[in-house]
Structure 1
């Protein structure tokens, strides 16, 4: 049974959550890049390094989320191609 949120978006909560993590990780990485530049402009290399490490963590998280999303979409697509004479498989986002 789909939740109200899933019905509203026609997307499972798990996929919505994964896409959200991807989005927020990318936004975080972009924001930290600005912070790195600000710290460098202020001549604070320790702070710049701290922000750079946080940026790398966000980038790594985004990369992992992209891999997970890709593998799930691919699996769902392959599953649909292997089904013959059956109703269409439910998409991972529905």
Structure 2
């Protein structure tokens, strides 16, 4: 498995990156929901909620993959 300059698996780095960006986006979407509700745009607010749920699921999937890789020797730098 390829490793980046940090010694961690590229796949682990990529999963962490997707997880971070999904969680960050989910946080931002909360504001988008409020903006749409304040503009009395219920359908658009519902759309933002849907997108937020998709990102939450994406982050949860990353978490499950990371847990599976954790401690397998495929996740972090080689010890020794």
Q: What is the TM-score when the length of structure 2 is the normalising length?
A: 0.85
Q: Paired residue for 1:61, among 54, 58, 62?
A: 58
CA RMSD of aligned residues (A): 1.8
Moved over 3 A (4+): none
* Residue correspondences, number: 77
Mark the runs of 5 or more structure 2 residues left unpaired by the alignment. none
Q: Which has the higher helix share?
A: 1
Which runs of no fewer than 5 residues in structure 1 stay unpaired?
A: 77-89
**Counterpart of 1:11?**
8
CA contact 2:9–2:74 (8 Å) conserved in 1: no
Hey, what does 1:49 align to over in structure 2? 46
